[in-house]
Amino acid sequence: MATEEPAFTLVKKDGSFEIRDYAPLIVAETTLNGSAERARNAGFQPLADYIFAKDRKGSTIAMTAPVTQASREQIAMTAPVTQRSEGNSWTISFTMPASYTMETLPAPANPNVRLIPQAARRMAVIRFSGMASADSMEKVRIELRNQVKALGLQTVGEPVFAFYDPPWTLPFFRRNEVMIEIAPHD
């Protein structure tokens, strides 16, 4: 059975670089401090407990892909714009299946898990494979920034990393992406 992924329309493709228009969606997210890898590993469990109904009553929610990770500035209220900060705070997100609304999703029992609706948006994306190490993530982040700049596009926020495969997937088969919201223009 295929894993559901967020719906998008492909606007442009050039090798591993794409521009996509994403439909609105809802994510379950949690924020942790530490390295990107530690946050990704530690952030997975409370989100998995939410979707598999281990910390709440009710039925399970189907797993979707990707799991996303973005650096966040440590502030009293988490804004949708991501920024790198001294505290190295990371937000890990699971996309909820498209069949759910904010009204039909069960409330998380864990106060560290939040349900966040996201509006439709245009994203610049670069796909990459392998292990998502700090070095490889930085390399593709720079590549994405350079590609966006070369096309004269205006960004909104900071890059988000997306991971599509379970941990046991061999590195060369892994599908990862770095994406950044861009201001639409026609």
The pTM of this model reads: 0.83
pLDDT in tens, 20-50: 999 999 999 998 888 777 887 788 889 989 9
Domain ranges, residue 151: 8-182
Q: Judge whether 97 lies within some domain.
A: yes
Q: Judge whether 2 lies within some domain.
A: no
Three-class secondary structure assignment of the chain: CCCECCCEEEEEEECCEEEEEECCEEEEEEEEECCHHHHHHHHHHHHHHHHCCCCCCCCCCCCECCEEEEEECCCCCCCCCCCCCCCCEEEEEEECCCCCCCCCCCCCCCCCCEEEEECCEEEEEEEECCCCCHHHHHHHHHHHHHHHHHCCCCEEEEEEEEECCCCCCCHHHCCEEEEEEECCCC
Q: Judge whether 3 lies within some domain.
A: no
Q: Judge whether 143 lies within some domain.
A: yes
pLDDT in tens, 121-140: 999 999 999 888 888 889 99
Q: Judge whether 162 lies within some domain.
A: yes
User: How many domains does the chain contain in total?
Assistant: 1
